[in-house]
Amino acid sequence: MQSAVFHFATLDIDLQVGPDIRDITDDINRIIGRSGIENGQACASMVGSTGSLTTIEFEPGVVQDLKDAISRLAPPDLAYAHELAWHDGNGHSHVQAALMGPSVALPIRRGRLRLGTWQQVVAVNHDNRSRRRTVEVTLSGV
């Protein structure tokens, strides 16, 4: 019986004013390749309360559709209670990120993420300023 392996890595990603979306699938697959894990699970989590992770078909039309949907869910031009305390203009960013969620857990098979043909892992910045985002990746498997 093989022993389980755990591997930890950090991705730093530069993102523009939100919603900005970047494909990080290849980055995670490179981490898996370095880990030596053939089968298991990859968990990735965005650090910070105004960023999120999800999967999507990363093509211009769908990316724009997601940006539009995010902006409709929590429009930047509404009044947010967060603004009363902090006056930083990003109340919508916190709500958008909370609705999407900070993390994904995906299977690793044959040393790569097991995704659909048109499915990629993406990082999303919701903030009203450019941000360097940190994604913590935890791999477990054999």
CATH at residue 102 = 2.60.120.460
- Can you give the pLDDT of all 142 residues of the chain as single tens digits? 788 999 999 999 999 998 999 999 999 999 999 999 999 999 999 999 999 999 999 999 999 999 999 999 999 999 999 988 889 999 999 999 999 999 999 999 999 999 999 999 999 999 999 999 999 999 999 9
Domain count, the chain: 1
| Number of C-beta neighbours around residue 44 at 10 A | 24
pTM score, two decimals? 0.94
Can you give the residue range of the structural domain that contains 58? Answer: 5-141
